[in-house]
Chain A
Amino acid sequence: MAYGYMGKVLEVNLSENKIDSYSLPDKTLELYVGNKGLGARLLYDLVPPGIDPLGGENALIVTTAPLTGTGAPSSNRFNVTTKSPLTGAIVDSNCGGNFGIHLKRAGYDALIVRGKADDPVYLDISDEGVQIKDARDLWGLDTEKTQEQLPDKTGKMVIGPAGENLVKFACIVSEERVAGRSGVGTVMGSKNLKAVSAGGNKKPAIYNEELFKEACKEWRDQLRSHPATSEELPQYGTSIFINRTSATHTLPTRNFKYGQFKDADKISGETLAEEYLVKNIGCYGCPMRCGRQVKVDEKPVKGPEYETLGMLGSNLMISDLQAINEWNRQADLLGLDTISLGNALGFVMEAGEDGFIKTDLAFGRSDNISQAIEDIALRRGLGDDMAEGVAHLAQKYGGEDYAMHSKGLELAAYEPRTAVGQGLGYAVANRGGCHLGAGYVVFLESNGPITVDPYTTKGKPGLAVFNQTVLEAISTLGSCNFTNYAVFPEFLLKMYNRSRLVSKVVNNSLMLGGNQFGKFMYSPKGAVLPKKVFHHPFPHIKAHSHCTGNEMSPEDFLKLGQRVFNMCRLFNAREGFSRRDDTLPRRLTNELQRQEEPRSRVPLDEMLPTFYRLRGWDQNGIPTERTLRKLGIEK
């Protein structure tokens, strides 16, 4: 009997109209567990190197985790893995909402879509059967109207016109949540797959119900008692970071020319809450409830996240919050990633100023942005080029120094010249310029409650390795990364703030010992903290163990994160990615953010060698045979 898992994977081949379901080997599940870990392994196994991401050979892989649908807090996210049409690298895009729960209710841990339908179709998955249905009537509809047409009380994943038109940064929408990055929606569109609907009555079995319930209660209590997860996130959502990143010069402003926006408060979480918020909303089973609901055209709709406020706000020198609310809604309806969208708009504005591109788009001008967004989704005029992303735009028109991407994926809303560890992270993240794949080091450098010197390179490679590993493990277990915000208990924060000695010791330990964090993950002893202490910041481990009956130790947890990160890197290496692709735009490495701060650039080349060493890679950025062997990764 499978605990946590439903025991079956659903595979649909749209070219051959074939539907199949099967079990995965125990060893695969033991090593890769679920969500992005499982997604990476399956993609590597199913998709040969060098294929066209928009061709029938690419696979769209939707994965859940054992904790999904069990009642564990904030652990119902699902993952979409595929080969990205924007970058050619792996993309794993994580999404909230309830699709994962419903896929498991229908009896499946994962859905693999292969091939390409001749005409638009949608998948109807229930515990009574799976059908490939005609979606020609849905084709052309926005994501909201599409979801309305699908059966009630099911989990839904849909694309909008942007995905249909193969815009390279088209996203997948599920309820009001989004699997945003790197063209997962584009791949769905390339298969003529408009939507997936799933539902049923099955439930995952739990190995030890009593201990599991106890572990989940402790976890929920922890989230409900920490100020970040119980007060700030529920009241303000992620938008609360706008004023903080602006204060620390890490808010992208004017196409990442600057890190501080004089009108940050006008587009901040505080202003959003005061003037526009209807209520907060949350994913199923999450006590943090960080989602926003605002009014657009008198209708309550999803409000903007931090990333959207940054990329469509400060990055474009826009201080009109109502306009950003409208563009956020528009992007969701059309099915566009707001991060890449904001980057594309910002790039064109700057390239326009420099005379590389003929455009009316301009920093601070809001009246023509909605039209531009629609033009991108429908590939009209300049929108057709913008739909290809900033790397393409720069290649065609010029302005490479400020095409803000890494590996072709546009950077997220953290300016790394005042958070150099984040800069390193962007350059080495597996899916490209992703803040989470970077390890979200900026949290330890600029925006969290405990921060080290943002300009020093000391310890940053090790902190990046450790953070990336932890976030990979948390996601792979099915949980939301925000569960990590409770990692610094409140008593530690008070000591840190109160005592100069404590803050000096902590800061120096992180800086000087940072690289040791990376090292000890490979030691025979593994995680050096006692289990009980380790379980406090990582309650995921106990919950997963009691759910599945597979006892997970702190060492297993860290090894899992290492394994997943390396699995993704291996996929990329097989596609030809190496050190030469671990780059940042010259604006970030060669141009000072502020003339008065001589350290305000990312010294990437100084940090890469140590990062590779700590990751167990050669100096070309390729995982060594020894590393793969230690982690049990088969090529």
Chain B
Amino acid sequence: MQFALMIYHTPEEFAMRKNDYSDPHLGAWRAYYKALVEAGVYVGANALEAPETGTTVRLKEGKRRVQDGPYAETKEQLAGFIILELPSIDAALEWAARCPGASIGAVEVRPLAPEAMRRGFTG
């Protein structure tokens, strides 16, 4: 089954990430991805730009509401995600503990819901 590792960063960490050359965690991330690929569990991943680059849209009573910034104002914001193919949640938690994001900020692990996705596409 597939799991999403969602990586949460503080504003300071986002600021550091802007410049590749000053990010002290780059080597750790690179090695982590390599270990995921070599272990045959990697499905996909991507990083997100800082939360202030986000725009939140919702329709309330037929009216558009557009808000600058992320959906919720919290100290730690979603910074990226990794999708892994693993046999169990226990294995997913092991990989989450090894993720550099776990010691920098936090990593949330959630199973993907492919059934919900499929129903959405096919009715």
Is A bound to B? no
Residues of A within 8 A of B (CB): none
Residues of B within 8 A of A (CB): none
